[in-house]
Amino acid sequence: MYIKNQFVRHQLVLHLLEQEGYETITTSSNQDEILLWRKMNRMTNIVRISLKQFDWARELDHSIEQIEKNVSKNLQLPLFQKEVNFHHVCIADYVPVDNWQQHKASNIKAIDHTYVYIWASDQDEQFARFFKNAGMKHPLSFSIPEQPMELEQHAQYLKQRIDHIDYQAKKEVADVFNKAKPILSYVLIAINIVVFVLLEWMGGSTDPDTLIKFGAKYNPAMMEGEWWRVVSSMFLHIGVFHIGLNMMALYFVGTLVERIFGNYRFIIIYFLAGISGGIASFAFNANVAAGASGALFGLFGALLLFGLKNPKIFFKTIGMNVIFLVILNIIFGFSIQQVDNGAHLGGLIGGFLAAGAVQLPSMRKSWKQILFLFGYLVYSFGLLYYGIQNDQIQYNETVQIQHIQQLIEAEQYQKVAESASQSLPHAEEYQAELLFYRSFANIQLGNYKKAEKDLEAAVEKKPRFEEALYNLALIYQQEQKLSEALEISKKLLDLDQDNSTYQSLYKELTKTTS
């Protein structure tokens, strides 16, 4: 009887694989259990075909509960499924002695319906019920050989066909994930670590000036033509936690993408995603920024494209983990102010488009590649244009004050005046400081009237602004407005009566006006 049951099981499994589009999930070591599944029209049917004999309904119930629990725990079901049904097909010598058909509904949340069928003593109506519930499109018809030897030979032949189909399916998955050895991922990790050590040695990876010097994304410099920072910033990281997290992601995600897409496709995706992420950061984030996050999110984008091209393999292997990580990182980014969401989302979209431009090794189609490349170029240049026009970001008062201080150190006073003028219309908190810096630049350029006007406006906005008051007093003194200068010197002493510079100015002005 066991050989007969095997023959029937093999016929059913082969029919599901060849005619109905099912795939094997697992087989037990003794071949008594086979799990298959099929996703169609937002409905997933999972089929368990068992040769185990159940004497009592409670044994069957316990077996069903254990199998469904294990499957729901280990199987990555596709997202947005309308219905998930579990079909338990038992091919046995006889049915349980009690009422097995009163099986209770599944208590597993992921499973909507549980169906049980027991084929025993040629009860073909059980297969008919199974085919109807599972929505099969093709009927199953076979005859069972009467001679034991012939039956065994046919069963063995069917098993070989099943094993071959299963082998080909596994080989297809293995081939997808082994297009190349992940050499370039390791090279990128090594370069990033070397650059990080150099940063720490030359001033510290958390020091803004050191980051800017080594090529971090710095909007004021990029607006002056240093667009190479979009690439160089990909190799800089801010602190040990930052590089540790990114290199871990590059080790796991980078090597996976390189295995799927191949070496040169991987490096193209990595750099194009990093560039689009850097441009997005330039467009939406005024602060100094660095890191490989844009490129890494681009690798997630490449995996999403892979999922669209190979949904069965994607969801059977890495799909749910990839989608979960993308959603988690996006939520994390919007929850923490310091995270550069522009770079993350910009890299994600850029990586998706870049992956479409290079395509998977086995799916090269020139017209699709051209379309994706065109989309990438429109997307990136659109971001760049928006970023250049986004004055609120490019003339952010905090960043511009930092930039102005660097220009003063370089004695580029004309640029100081220009930067302050461009930033003032967008300033809210630091208008007085910007006016002061512009006045300082105009003093150095000999434009004393302009400096006087800016200093007057600065102290009007910030009456206790000592540096502005002092410089204004000096200008008044130079222009022989001695009474105004004396009045300001008195204010300075009220603010800081122990300041020797203020005391000297007050004494000098008192003597001059007396």
Q: Could you list the active site residues?
A: 293, 344
For residue 142, the SS3 value is coil
For 147-160, give one letter per residue: b (16+ CB within 10 A) or e: eeeebeebbeebbe
SS3 27: strand
C-alpha span between 305 and 299 (Å, rounded)? 10
* DSSP conformation letters of 214-253: HT-B-HHHHHTT-TTHHHHGGG--SSHHHHHHHHHHIIII
Rounded CA separation 482/286 (Å):
43
147 Cβ contact list (under 8 Å, min separation 6): none
| Cα-Cα-Cα-Cα dihedral sign, residues 104, 110, 112, 113 | negative
Collapsed DSSP state (helix, strand, coil) of residue 172 = helix
Per DSSP, the three-state class of 339 is coil
**Cα distance between residue 349 and residue 302, in whole Å:** 9
CB count within 10 Å of CB 138 equals 11
Cα–Cα distance, 458 to 436 (Å, whole number): 6
- How many other CB atoms are found less than 10 A from the CB of residue 99? 9
Q: What are the percentages of helix, strand and coil residues in the chain, rounded to 5?
A: 65, 10, 25
How far apart, in whole angstroms, are the C-alpha atoms of residue 284 and residue 505? 47
Instruction: Please give the C-alpha separations between residue 22 and each of 3, 169, 315, 449, 507, in angstroms, as whole numbers.
Output: 24, 11, 14, 84, 96
Give the residue among 239, 194, 202, 212 at the shortest CA–CA distance from 338: 239
Q: Rounded CA gap, 456 and 443, in Å?
A: 14
Three-state DSSP class for residue 147:
coil
CB 508 within 8 A of CB 492: no
Amino acid letter for position 395 = Y
Tokens 């991922």, located at residue? 185
| Cβ-contact 9, 142 below 8 angstroms | no
Cβ-contact 10, 158 below 8 angstroms: yes
